Chains A and B, each alone.
Chain A
Amino acid sequence: MRIHNKLLGQDANSCVLNFCSGDNEDMFAQNLKSQPSDWYYKDKEITYSYNKNGHRCKDLEDINLNNYILFAGCSHTEGVGLKLEHTYPYLLSQYYNCDYYNLSLGGTGIDAIEYNLISWISLIKQKPKFVVVQWPDHSRFLGSYPNYPSLIPNGSWMTDEFGKKFITSAEISGFFYARKYLSYKLITSLIDVPLIEIMFHSLSPYGSTHVSIKKLDLARDLSHAGIKSHQKITEDTIAYIGNKYMHERLHNPT
């Protein structure tokens, strides 16, 4: 990850790739051998088109900033393993007939989400219709290393001694809870449009209510949520927004 135009994005920017780090070519070759002959992804191409800021969406200047949804999250919201048209940010924006910008970055955690949302609020004066944040596992963090220009996403997959030591002790000591609490409070205080929270039910909670991600099928990498799952997230989010506003209208009739 690196900073492009003050926002944190993938190292790769202004490019189109057939694979990405979470959905790589070697893994695909292996999966081809293990999957049935009628596997959906056998002959389907997926392209990852990253804009100038290293985000998987249109360039900022091509977004209708008067009518857009803002997304932030990790690989699930970036849509790793899926065609763009099958991802829930795309589907939601189609449903609401508006544009969208997707700040999501695979492998990242709340530090990247917080950085990008605070920067967005500061840089972009036009507010989104609403913000969708998909909260990742709270133990993820971006590491920086001497003489290496990029930030590296780290998390429970770390194998080096110090990484494991940090994650284990930060979990036991309650540091991850405190960091999450502070970032969550800050993000929710700074966003003054409706905030829709999405997360896997199995993760340690952030706020009190959220839309749960249900993994009904798998994407091309056989790890991330698949087409049906994104369709379900879209439907559940639409229903959640509907209920939320119905509830608010009932209680605030003005």
Chain B
Amino acid sequence: MRLVDGFISHDIDGIYNNYGHRCKNLQDVNFHNYILFVGDNLGLRLDLPLEETFPYMVSKKLSIDYYNLCVFNGGIDIIKHNLFLWLKKYPAPKAVVIASEFANALVVSDLNFSFIESAYLKDPIVSDMLEGANMCGFFTGRQFLFSHLIDNCVPCPIYQVLVKDQIPVISSNNLVNVVCDNSEQTLIAEQLYSKIKERIQLARRSV
């Protein structure tokens, strides 16, 4: 991981844009009509070609642009950092889609912040940390605060993609959950598309 223009992103690799995110370059995004994806592996699917990932498929189906701020093994701290920094710097998207596989992921650094990376799960210290965080209320407290921040401070509709039986990043009544039995991309894309479309139609009817 690295910091580019304030955003946490991936190290340089051919599959990422010049900011280290898996989508087109920032300057090519239509900021008047786009969806923002935040999350981790679920919203990236590095094992698939870009065209077979649900962010690509949904945006194509909706004829709307998108930017993908997802970071591999990121977790809540990176989602929060990237999302609120984005909302400060750029025009609000038409919708925010949160797609996270590991709500309880943790990142680590050193005293001088000379690096930032995912905690290595096989490290016994990290195992202790995960167990402690789970039992002492840290994870639930972090989720509580982030959920309220999302509710209060995101100025557009919010969707959360959840794979069945996984811990949600956000627990809120103010967002639309898209629950899938598995992480099959076409299925997620179809469900997300219909939920977004439904909401747009409702909004149009109310106008």
Contact = CB atoms under 8 A, between A and B. Distances in A.
Interface residues of B, number: 42
B207 to A, nearest CB: 25
A169 B128 contact: yes
Given A162-B136, A163-B132, 8 more contacts: A118-B149, A154-B136, A175-B106, A177-B109, A177-B111, A178-B108, A178-B116, A189-B85
Contacts of A160: 136
29 contacts: A112-B145, A115-B148, A118-B84, A119-B153, A141-B138, A142-B141, A143-B136, A143-B137, A143-B140, A152-B137, A152-B141, A158-B136, A160-B136, A162-B136, A165-B129, A165-B132, A166-B133, A169-B126, A170-B132, A172-B125, A173-B129, A175-B129, A177-B109, A178-B77, A178-B107, A178-B116, A181-B109, A186-B85, A189-B85
Interface of A: 3, 6, 8, 111-112, 115, 118-119, 122-123, 141-146, 151-152, 154, 158, 160, 162-170, 172-175, 177-179, 181-183, 185-186, 189-190, 204
A144 B137 contact: yes
B39 to A, nearest CB: 16
Given A141-B141, A144-B137, A185 B6 contact: yes
Interface in B75-132: 77-78, 80-81, 84-85, 88, 106-111, 113, 116, 119, 123, 125-126, 128-129, 131-132
Interface of B: 3, 6, 8, 77-78, 80-81, 84-85, 88, 106-111, 113, 116, 119, 123, 125-126, 128-129, 131-138, 140-145, 148-149, 152-153
A74 B88 CA distance: 26
A151 B133 contact: no
Interface of B is mostly: helix
A115 B80 CA distance: 11
A11 to B, nearest CB: 15
A111 B141 CA distance: 9
Contacts of A178: 77, 106-109, 116
A151 B141 contact: yes
Given A115-B148, A151-B144, A186-B84, A165 B128 contact: yes
A122 B138 contact: no
B145 A166 contact: no
A132 B31 CA distance: 34
A167 B131 CA distance: 11
A127 to B, nearest CB: 13
Contact of B153 (A122, A151, A158): A122
Contacts of B132: 162-167, 169-170
Contact of A170 (B129, B145, B153): B129
A118 B146 CA distance: 11
Nearest to B153: A122
B134 to A, nearest CB: 8
Nearest to A191: B88
Contact of A169 (B77, B81, B129, B142): B129
A154 B129 CA distance: 15
B152 A123 contact: yes
Q: Which of B107, B135, B136 has the most CB of A within 10 A?
A: B136
Contacts of A170: 129, 132-133
Nearest to A205: B111
Nearest to B88: A190
B108 A204 contact: no
Identify the interface centre among B81, B138, B140: most chain A CB within 10 Å of its CB. Answer: B138
Nearest to B111: A177
Contact of A174 (B108, B135, B142): B108
Nearest to A167: B132
A152 B140 CA distance: 11
